Structure 1
Amino acid sequence: MQDFFNPYSAIRIHGSTLPHWQQGSAYVFTTWRLADSLPLDLLREWKAEREVWMAQHPSPWSQGVWDQYNELFPERMESWLDRGMGSCLLRQAALRRIVCLALRFFDGDRYTVAGFVVMPNHVHIVFQPMQGYLIEEILHSWKSYTSKELNKLTGARGELWQRGYWDRLIRSRAHFEHCLRYMRENPSVARLPAGDYTIFER
């Protein structure tokens, strides 16, 4: 199986708002968040800036453009998420457990999980899709199941998770280790006590 991104091989690109890349079974680093994790005014401002930037940078993107995008948008959003805004439902261990079990449910069957961290209002995961399985279908399965189960327990209605997700193909062993280290250190960066997050690493 292919572990990392090969710049000389074909890439499957999907998604209209933000292009998502998949290249066979190459590892991917993925992040998604709770729907209420950012104030609407801040999110509108971020989306407006991103729309202007994306209009000025039509796809396909070079690696340099991807790096610029990640610095301007996902990394900035990460810093906001680490402030712990919104309901932060996943501070509750019982609710985090549902997410963790879902992420591991098809581990070794449809995908291989290298590691993940479930934070109070977002999730990071590094995983390798098995041949024949699409990243967006795996993400849909995780988000759909956990949304239903968490809403049952909390009595909430409506969308639990944000629409869409952020992802990036992993380029090398060094990039792989960097992503795992980022996840491992994320709770410390966000200054979380031990009971507010869950880390799994193979």
Structure 2
Amino acid sequence: MPRFSESLTMPEPRKFGAFDRDADLEVRQRDLPRWFQAGVAIFITFRTIDSMPRDVVSGWHADIKRWLKENGIQCDSERLPEANALPMRLRNEYSKVRDRGWQERLDECHGECVLKRTECAKIVADALRHFDGDRYDLASFIVMPNHVHLIAQFRRGFSLSRQSESWLRFSATRINRLSNRAGAFWQAEPFDHLIRSEAQFWYLMNYIRDNPGNAGVKMDDIAYYNVFE
């Protein structure tokens, strides 16, 4: 399995790896298919339930369908097509356009943005750090006003799906209690992506670092962690 990005700042150096096509692969199917490999760095995003209002999602859908039409693909369905359903020549660009548009709208900071409160952001950060070095190794995370990005690598015997549920359940309970609120806090299914290469690893590390500036949020107002800094 390819290894890269060795951190020398920890008591024991951490090495983060890329997706290995020849290794065991776990595929989970919910709204979208998700791939998971232990010992491989994975980029994860989870967001508050009010972070993408219906009109914002509709605007994103319209933009993607417009791009598809401009490239000769008619999409009459409410659901956007998966990249692998498109001609090979369009797949990479389609994924980039779709994901970039989603992230740009997420960075507009819709909703209550409860995580702007220092005490709420700290609850999330503490949850992420709690099993760091035990169940998984964190490379980086950032707690934005209405969403969280992180890169983590899970150790053998521990799964992303169960740990994500634990992070979300624990932090939601604490934040709701602190804010005297009830009901769902997080969108149920986080986004996750197995990192394919060292270049992609560093691109996403830099994306996390630069997210506040790109979203017009002061670095002092968020919780940020990078194992290499």
Native 8 Å contact 1:90 1:121 kept in 2:
yes
Count of residue correspondences: 197
Query: Is 1:193 aligned to 2:218, yes or no?
Result: yes
Give the structure 2 partner of residue 167 of structure 1. 192
1:149-198 C-alpha deviation (Å, 9 max, x unpaired): 00000011111001101111111222111111000001111111233212
State the Cα distance separating 1:69 from its structure 2 match. Answer: 5.3
Query: Is 1:105 aligned to 2:133, yes or no?
Result: no
Over 3 Å counting, the alpha-carbon distance change for 1:55 and 1:174 in structure 2 is closer
Instruction: Please give the secondary structure, in 1, of the residue aligned with 2:31.
Output: coil
Query: Is 1:33 aligned to 2:61, yes or no?
Result: no
Give the structure 2 partner of residue 9 of structure 1. 23
Report the Cα distance in structure 2 between the residues aligned to 1:52 and 1:36, rounded to whole angstroms: 21
Query: Is 1:135 aligned to 2:160, yes or no?
Result: yes
TM-score (norm 1): 0.88
Report the Cα distance in structure 2 between the residues aligned to 1:86 and 1:104, rounded to whole angstroms: 26
Percent sequence identity over aligned pairs: 32
**Counterpart amino acid of 1:75?**
R
Native 8 Å contact 1:5 1:26 kept in 2:
yes
Gaps of 5+ in 1: none
Native 8 Å contact 1:90 1:196 kept in 2:
no
Give the structure 2 partner of residue 147 of structure 1. 172
Give the structure 1 partner of residue 79 of structure 2. 51
Native 8 Å contact 1:37 1:84 kept in 2:
yes
Report the Cα distance in structure 2 between the residues aligned to 1:136 and 1:186, rounded to whole angstroms: 25
State the Cα distance separating 1:7 from its structure 2 match. Answer: 2.4
1:103-151 C-alpha deviation (Å, 9 max, x unpaired): 0000011000000011000000000001111111111110010000000
Native 8 Å contact 2:56 2:105 kept in 1:
no
TM-score (norm 2): 0.78
Report the Cα distance in structure 1 between the residues aligned to 2:58 and 2:51, rounded to whole angstroms: 13
Over 3 Å counting, the alpha-carbon distance change for 1:16 and 1:69 in structure 2 is farther
Query: Is 1:95 aligned to 2:120, yes or no?
Result: yes
State the Cα distance separating 1:76 from its structure 2 match. Answer: 1.3
Gaps of 5+ in 2: 4-16, 66-77
Instruction: Please give the secondary structure, in 1, of the residue aligned with 2:120.
Output: helix
CA RMSD for the aligned pairs? 2.3
Report the Cα distance in structure 1 between the residues aligned to 2:40 and 2:192, rounded to whole angstroms: 12
Over 3 Å counting, the alpha-carbon distance change for 1:78 and 1:107 in structure 2 is same
Ranges of 4+ aligned residues in structure 1 off by more than 4 Å: 44-50
